[in-house]
Amino acid sequence: MNNANTQILRKVEDAQAFHFSTGFNAFTGQKANSLEEFLLRVREVDIRCLEFHLSQKDFEKWIEFTLGDIRLAADLRRLREQKLVGENLRTLLSLLVSGRLKELKSTSLPKARKQSKSKTNI
């Protein structure tokens, strides 16, 4: 199993979780303890949360420094530079995170399991 991927995909303690807010000291009570939970919240939180956190660089910081995914953080940096808002932002953010999750999960499978999937029966 790929240790770097396992590190990125892990569930963190509440103290390290991402806590959503619509502004400074305006917490929604929603949090994400993993990249998978983060994707779920991105799809459901108030759009003001996404706009606020993206503009503050919060998403890229949490993903890089807490989860350790430098690549996804760089993708989010580029997304921020596009200055998207509203549902366009939610859609692209969701696509970026879900694509990265699929990639991380597919390369985290144990080798034996991967090989058995690719073998054909004669």
* Residue 96 in domain: yes
The pLDDT, as a whole number, for residue 84 is: 95
The pLDDT, as a whole number, for residue 119 is: 47
Instruction: Give pLDDT tens digits for 20-57.
Output: 999 898 889 999 999 999 999 999 999 999 999 999 99
With 0-12 / 13-18 / 19 or more C-beta atoms within 10 angstroms meaning exposed / middle / buried, residue 69 is buried
In angstroms, the CA 82 to CA 76 distance is 10
Domain count along the chain: 1
The pLDDT, as a whole number, for residue 109 is: 60
* Residue 98 in domain: yes
* Residue 35 in domain: yes
Length of the chain: 122
Domain containing residue 72: 3-107
In angstroms, the CA 85 to CA 112 distance is 44
